[in-house]
């Protein structure tokens, strides 16, 4: 388990010279220049060019990540909506869509992961973008990412999303089981003191001709017990379902996250196939206590996991 209030997972290679919203001052900001290579909706298949996210990053110019209009999950309600990210070859982020507005991000000198922007929908908006797993070399095909939005720490919220080279629907197994092991990270909206924690994530998939099911587990034992379990239904190369669980904070306060609207888990399978040990999965989760509960808590997070086994039917 790791707790983090700020700071990066990995350093970006260079600073950006862009600022403002929708272009800001100076030269017009073009979020999707002609040299972009856009991640395809599905992995191109074994033997085809551009096999990994790193291949796209190394192709030169800039590359665009489609997020399929994901709303993501957030500890800030429905404040943000991500449509696409734009990276350059060094994995520096050019911009991100928030609430349908293209925000040109400006790197903060002296920081490893902080980007600033002025946004029309918030005053004194600052966005921290934490480098995704591509920058750390821990993923080939899929990743989750997140941004902090809304002012100076600790008055921040976090929005999570996932993306990558999805397994072609035609290559998805129609039987068998697969196991995955990886990591999660989440924003815990403690009253007046939001905090980030991370830990180990496990995913179990049971494939069937009509899709199948997925079980997602995230949790930690220290500094306080926290356990969430997700149950989802596979559709094509994606899955969605319900997340439930419990938590006891360091002061002994108990929290229950029951099956309810908004307590969700969703994700997708990434890579050329899911019948070996090269497949990946990534997704997001969100839980909140019942508004009537004495102790209130909201958690939003993301997870990524590498396939460890596949058992044929």
d(Cα 167, Cα 177) in Å, to the nearest integer? 16
What pLDDT score was predicted for residue 66? 61
Tell me how crowded residue 57 is: count the other CB atoms within 10 A of its CB.
18
Question: What does the H/E/C string look like for 122-171?
Answer: CCCCEEEEECCHHHHCCCCCEEEEEEEECCCCCCCEEEEEEEECECCHHH
Nearest C-alpha neighbor of 68 from the set 168, 166, 135: 166
- Phi, then psi, of 236 in degrees rounded to 5: 65, -120
Nearest C-alpha neighbor of 75 from the set 183, 186, 153: 186
pTM beyond cutoff 0.75: yes
What pLDDT score was predicted for residue 81? 42
Higher pLDDT, 132 or 218: 218
What pLDDT score was predicted for residue 300? 87
Write out the two tokens for 213: 């099911």
What pLDDT score was predicted for residue 193? 64
What pLDDT score was predicted for residue 201? 96
Q: How many angstroms from the chain centroid is the CA of residue 288?
A: 18
Tell me how crowded residue 103 is: count the other CB atoms within 10 A of its CB.
30
Instruction: Name the average pLDDT for the chain.
Output: 74
User: Residue 169 pLDDT more than 80?
Assistant: yes
pLDDT single digits (tens) 10-50: 222 122 222 223 333 334 445 555 556 677 889 998 888 88
Structural domains of the chain, ranges and CATH numbers in brackets: 2-311 (2.40.160.90)
* Candidate from 52-61, 99-108, 139-148 with smallest mean pLDDT: 99-108
H or E, element range at 220? strand 211-220
Question: What does the H/E/C string look like for 254-308?
Answer: EEEECCCCCCEEEEEEECCCCCCCCCEEEEEEEEECCCCCCCCCEEEEEEEEEEE
User: Residue 237 pLDDT more than 80?
Assistant: yes
């Amino acid at each position: 388990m790791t707790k983090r209030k700020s700071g990066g997972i990995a350093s970006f290679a260079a600073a950006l010279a862009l600022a403002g919203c929708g272009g800001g001052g100076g030269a017009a900001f073009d979020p999707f220049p002609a040299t972009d290579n856009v991640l395809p909706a599905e992995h191109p298949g074994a033997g085809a060019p551009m096999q990994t996210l790193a291949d796209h990053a190394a192709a030169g110019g800039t590359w665009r990540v489609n997020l399929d209009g994901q709303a993501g999950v957030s500890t800030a309600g429905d404040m943000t909506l991500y449509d696409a990210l734009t990276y350059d070859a060094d994995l520096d982020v050019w911009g991100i869509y928030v609430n349908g507005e293209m925000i040109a991000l400006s790197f903060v000198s002296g920081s490893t992961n902080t980007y600033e922007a002025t946004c029309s929908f918030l005053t004194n908006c600052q966005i921290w973008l934490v480098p995704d797993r591509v920058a750390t070399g821990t993923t080939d095909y899929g990743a989750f990412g997140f941004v902090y939005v809304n002012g100076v720490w600790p008055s921040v919220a976090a929005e999570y999303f996932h993306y990558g080279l999805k397994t072609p629907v035609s290559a998805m197994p129609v039987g068998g089981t697969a196991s995955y092991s990886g990591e999660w990270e989440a924003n815990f909206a403690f009253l007046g003191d939001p905090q980030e924690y991370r830990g180990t994530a496990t995913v179990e998939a049971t494939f069937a001709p009509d899709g199948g099911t997925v079980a997602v587990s995230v949790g930690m034992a220290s500094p306080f017990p926290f356990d969430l379990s997700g149950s989802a239904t596979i559709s094509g190369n994606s899955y969605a379902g319900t997340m439930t669980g419990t938590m006891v904070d360091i002061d002994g306060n108990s929290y229950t996250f029951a099956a309810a609207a908004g307590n969700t888990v969703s994700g997708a399978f990434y890579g050329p196939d899911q019948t070996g040990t090269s497949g990946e999965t990534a997704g997001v989760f969100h839980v909140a206590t019942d508004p009537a509960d004495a102790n209130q808590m909201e958690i939003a997070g993301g997870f990524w996991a590498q396939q460890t086994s596949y058992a044929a039917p």
